[in-house]
C-alpha cells in the first residue's frame, strides 16, 4: 500500500498527470471544434446541443480539467482536511463554469432577456461563479492562518496526527481505483442511455453536468463521515469535531444541489461553500480564544 501511494500520489506523478491531462484537454478542444465545423457544413449529422456553437467546445477540455481536479482532491486528502474540502469547492465551481460554456449556445439576445429560462440560468451561473471564487479565496486565507497556528504541536499530538495521516493515505490509495471504476461506469451508462430511446434513460441523464459528479459527491460524503469518525482517535476537541461535522454538511449540500435545477441549484452551491467558510472562521476563532478545549 505504501509503495502504491508513493508511486501514484507522489509529486512527480502529479506533475506527469498534469502534463498528460493538459495535452488531452487541448486535443479534445480541437476535435470538438472540428466536429462543430463539420456539423455547420452539413458534412456530418449530430443533434447534440454541444455542436451548435464554437464556444460550447470549451465544455470538453473543462471536463478533463475537472478530472485533474478530482485527482488533486485525492492527492491532498492525506495532507490536510481543509485543503481537501477546498478542492471540493474548486470542483463544484468548475462544474458551474463548465455549465456556462455548455449553455452559452442557448442564449437568446432579446428584449425579454429576464423572462427566458436559459438566459436567466446563465445570469445565475455568472453571479454564482464570482461569489464562489471570492468565497474560496477567503477559505484558503483562513486555511493559511490555521496552518501557521498549528506549527507548534506537542510530541503526543504529532504521533496521533501521524497515525491519522497514515489512515488517510490508505483511504486515498483505495479511492483511486474506486473513482476509475465509477467514472467508467458513469460514462458507459450515459453512452448506452444516449443511443437508446428509452424514456427512463433520457430522464436519468437530462443534465449532462451531473454525470459522474453526482455519484462522486455521494462518495465524498461517505469518506467525510469516515474521516469524522476516525478523527476522534487523535482529537476529541470540541472545535475540531464541529469543524469536521460542518465540512460533512457542506459536502451534503453540494450533493443535494445536483438534484435541483435553476436558482435553487445555485443557492445550494453558494450556501454549501459559505457554510464551510463560516465553519472554518468560527473554528479558528474558537481555537485562538481562551475557551477550554473540552
Q: Could you tell me the mean pLDDT of each successive run of 10 residues in the chain, 294 residues long?
A: 66 86 91 88 75 79 87 86 92 90 70 69 92 96 71 64 84 86 79 55 53 86 89 78 93 92 93 96 80 48
Q: How many CB atoms lie within 10 A of CB 227?
A: 19
Cell 436558482 sits at which residue? 263
Give residue limits of the domains in the chain: 79-288
- Please provide residue 236's backbone torsions phi and psi, each rounded to the nearest 5 degrees: -120, 20
Q: How many CB atoms lie within 10 A of CB 121?
A: 20
- Please provide residue 151's backbone torsions phi and psi, each rounded to the nearest 5 degrees: -65, -40
Contacts of 46 (CB under 8 A, 6+ apart): 35, 39
Res 233: pLDDT: 76
What is the C-alpha separation between 292 and 140, in angstroms, rounded? 26
Residue 112 is classified by DSSP as T
- Length in residues, the chain: 294
Q: Quick one: cell of 269?
A: 452551491
What is the C-alpha separation between 179 and 215, in angstroms, rounded? 10
What is the C-alpha separation between 105 and 59, in angstroms, rounded? 11
- Please provide residue 260's backbone torsions phi and psi, each rounded to the nearest 5 degrees: -115, 160
Q: Quick one: cell of 191?
A: 453512452
Closest CA to 216 of 189, 190, 180: 180
- Please provide residue 136's backbone torsions phi and psi, each rounded to the nearest 5 degrees: -65, -35
What is the C-alpha separation between 211 and 181, in angstroms, rounded? 14
Continuous segment of H or E residues that includes residue 245: helix 238-257
What is the C-alpha separation between 186 and 214, in angstroms, rounded? 10
Closest CA to 243 of 274, 276, 272: 276
Closest CA to 223 of 88, 94, 72, 132: 88
Buried b (16+ CB within 10 A) or exposed e, 49-60: ebbebeebbbbb
Q: Quick one: cell of 13?
A: 506523478
The answer to whether the CB of 288 falls within 8 A of the CB of 149 is yes
pTM of this prediction?
A: 0.82
Q: How many CB atoms lie within 10 A of CB 164?
A: 18
* End-to-end alpha carbon distance in the chain: 36
Closest CA to 99 of 250, 251, 207: 207
Amino acid at each position: 500500500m505504501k509503495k502504491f501511494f508513493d508511486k501514484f500520489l507522489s509529486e512527480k506523478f502529479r506533475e506527469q498527470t498534469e502534463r498528460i491531462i493538459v495535452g488531452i484537454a487541448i486535443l479534445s478542444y480541437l476535435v470538438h471544434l472540428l466536429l462543430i465545423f463539420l456539423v455547420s457544413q452539413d458534412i456530418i449529422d449530430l443533434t447534440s446541443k454541444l455542436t451548435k456553437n464554437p464556444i460550447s467546445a470549451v465544455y470538453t477540455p473543462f471536463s478533463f480539467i475537472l478530472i485533474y481536479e478530482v485527482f488533486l482532491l485525492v492527492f491532498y486528502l492525506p495532507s490536510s482536511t481543509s485543503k481537501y474540502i477546498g478542492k471540493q469547492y474548486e470542483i463544484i465551481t468548475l462544474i458551474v463554469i463548465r455549465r456556462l460554456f455548455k449553455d452559452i449556445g442557448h442564449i437568446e439576445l432579446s428584449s425579454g432577456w429576464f423572462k427566458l429560462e436559459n438566459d436567466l440560468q446563465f445570469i445565475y451561473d455568472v453571479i454564482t461563479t464570482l461569489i464562489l471564487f471570492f468565497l474560496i479565496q477567503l477559505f484558503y486565507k483562513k486555511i493559511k492562518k490555521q496552518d501557521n497556528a498549528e506549527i507548534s504541536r506537542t510530541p503526543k499530538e504529532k504521533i496521533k496526527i501521524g497515525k491519522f495521516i497514515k489512515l488517510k493515505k490508505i483511504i486515498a490509495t483505495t479511492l483511486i481505483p474506486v473513482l476509475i471504476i465509477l467514472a467508467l461506469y458513469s460514462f458507459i451508462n450515459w453512452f448506452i442511455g444516449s443511443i437508446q430511446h428509452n424514456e427512463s434513460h433520457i430522464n436519468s441523464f437530462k443534465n449532462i453536468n451531473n454525470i459522474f459528479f453526482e455519484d462522486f459527491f455521494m462518495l465524498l460524503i461517505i469518506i467525510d463521515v469516515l474521516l469524522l469518525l476516525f478523527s476522534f482517535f487523535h482529537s476529541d476537541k470540541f472545535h475540531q469535531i464541529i469543524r469536521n461535522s460542518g465540512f460533512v454538511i457542506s459536502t451534503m449540500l453540494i450533493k443535494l444541489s445536483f438534484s435541483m435545477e435553476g436558482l435553487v441549484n445555485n443557492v445550494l452551491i453558494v450556501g454549501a461553500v459559505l457554510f464551510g467558510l463560516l465553519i472554518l472562521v468560527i473554528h479558528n476563532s474558537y481555537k485562538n480564544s481562551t475557551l477550554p478545549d473540552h
